[in-house]
Homo-oligomer: A and B are copies of this chain.
Amino acid sequence: MSPSTTPVRQSSVRAHNLALVLHTVANGANHPSRAAIAAATGLTRATVSALVDDLVAGGLLVEVDPPPRTGAGRPAAGLALTSTGPAGLGCEINVDYLAACVVDLTGAVRQRFAEHADQRPADPAHALAALGRLAARARLAAEADGLIVAGAALAVPGLVGDGGLVRVAPNLGWQDVDAVAALRAVPELADLPITVDNEANLAALGELRVSGGDPAFLYVSGEVGIGAGLVIGGELYRGVRGWSGEIGHVTVYPDGRECRCGSRGCLEQYAGQEALADDVPRAAAALGIALSAVVNLLDVPVIVLGGAYAPIFAALRDGIETELRRRVLTAGLAPVTLRPAALGADAAMRGAADTIIRGVREDPAAWLRARA
């Protein structure tokens, strides 16, 4: 135990309460009044009113028509997240596509642009410049709609190090690529804070946001490579250096096919998008063997199949479940639930945009300061 002795300051109390009010509006019943927010949070009505005024003035909340009248007296105005305030720019580069989207504070996708083309022949600078142009178009279109893009996040199929450096992206053939600098070189993006993360991590976050119900699941992203994002207790587990989830390189057959990574028998060689086209039953069996290892090690009750797996979920399910029943020690005590991803191919890009939105929602005080 390491007890904390940090004192609580007034400014941090206000920041905490601003986030609490915003959270209550975002997650509560539809269009709560100031009085309903006070009741839900335990704050006084006067405090809530002052906080709401600040959030309305700062363009994070809007007043909307009151909910249907249920008692005596004048109905109070309701509050909602604004759809013309801060927005997140989500970008993705993967082996066979580039994409960018803008998501507003309510979580709605307001712009979406994609280009399908094999990125492997392109050098990283060229590919990132093309993605930057796509992202710039998305930003300009969103801002023409009255949104304010608060930042950008990029999803990549690889290992990301400090400062957003892409250390290795085996299926793109990238090594030590400074993706942040490349995107910032696009004039329309030069002023934005830009972050980079693994695509499966971001897709897992996107899935967490839309699925709502599952606080613990493994999201498996089936692309040319295979990644995974592990959500535990409603939080993404990143590993000690941010390099968790490399399920594509879990050994399934120790003396099996050679992999681009230098190893043999990696899951990717049997269940990656290209192998998948050849032999779905073998892909399902290989996935089942690797996922059994995950469940034995981590006791994860739900597995979400995303990317190229989602549309063929029905064809994969039996083969995977057969291996889980055989190989998971606790299979008889508690079944593992398999389901297709809710977000489809856009999961990583949506998850990327959501990280920006979540930043604003978790610390509205910082947004208000920056806009003041």
Asked whether any CB of chain B lies closer than 8 Å to the CB of A333, the reply is yes
Are the CB atoms of A296 and B168 closer together than 8 Å? no
How does the 8 Å CB contact mask read for A240-262 relative to B, with 1 for contact and 0 for none? 11111111011111100000011
- Taking a contact as CB atoms under 8 Å apart, the answer to whether A293 and B251 are in contact is yes
CB distance from A85 to the nearest CB of B (A): 18
Q: Which of B241, B263, B361, B362 makes the CB contact (< 8 A) with A299?
A: B241
The answer to whether A297 and B247 have CB atoms under 8 Å apart is yes
Given A1-B19, A159-B330, CB of A250 within 8 Å of CB of B297:
yes
On chain A, the number of residues with a Cβ less than 8 Å from chain B's Cβ atoms is 63
Would you call A11 an interface residue if the criterion is a C-beta within 8 Å of the partner chain's C-beta atoms? no
Complex contact B262–A326 (CB within 8 A)? yes
Q: In the complex, A245 Cα to B298 Cα: how many Å? A: 6
Chain B contacts for A237, CB-based, 8 A: 232, 298
Contact B327 A42 (CB under 8 A): no
Contact A41 B5 (CB under 8 A): yes
Task: Determine whether A301 belongs to the interface, using a CB cutoff of 8 Å to chain B.
Answer: yes
Task: Kindly state whether residue A167 has any CB partner on chain B within 8 Å.
Answer: yes
Is the C-beta of A10 less than 8 angstroms from some C-beta in chain B? no
Q: How far is the CA of A294 from the CA of B301 in the complex (A)?
A: 18
The residue that A298 contacts in the complex, of B42, B239, B290, B326, with Cβ under 8 A, is B239
A296 touches B247 (CB 8 A): yes
Residues from chain B with a CB closer than 8 A to the CB of A294 are 297
How far in angstroms is the closest Cβ of chain B from A3? 4
Complex Cα spacing A298 to B117, Å: 32
> Any chain B CB within 8 A of the CB of A121?
no
The CA-CA distance from A362 to B1 in the complex, in Å, is 7
A165 vs chain B, min Cβ distance (A): 11
Kindly report which residue of chain B lies nearest to residue A262, judged by CB atoms. Answer: B326
Instruction: Assess the A240–B297 pair: CB atoms within 8 A.
Output: no
Which has the most chain B C-beta neighbours within 10 Å: A243, A249, A297, A327? Answer: A297
Per-residue interface assignment for chain A, residues 146 to 176, with 1 indicating a CB less than 8 Å from any chain B CB and 0 otherwise: 0000000000000101000001101000000
Contacts of A80 in B (CB 8 A): none
Find A241's partner among B167, B252, B334 (CB 8 Å cutoff): B334
Give the 7 A-B residue pairs with the shortest CB-CB distance, closest first.
Answer: A239-B299, A246-B296, A244-B299, A243-B299, A3-B20, A249-B329, A250-B293
* 16 residue pairs bridging A and B, Cβ less than 8 Å apart: A1-B361, A5-B41, A170-B329, A237-B298, A239-B298, A239-B300, A240-B299, A241-B299, A242-B299, A244-B299, A246-B296, A246-B297, A247-B296, A249-B296, A249-B328, A263-B326
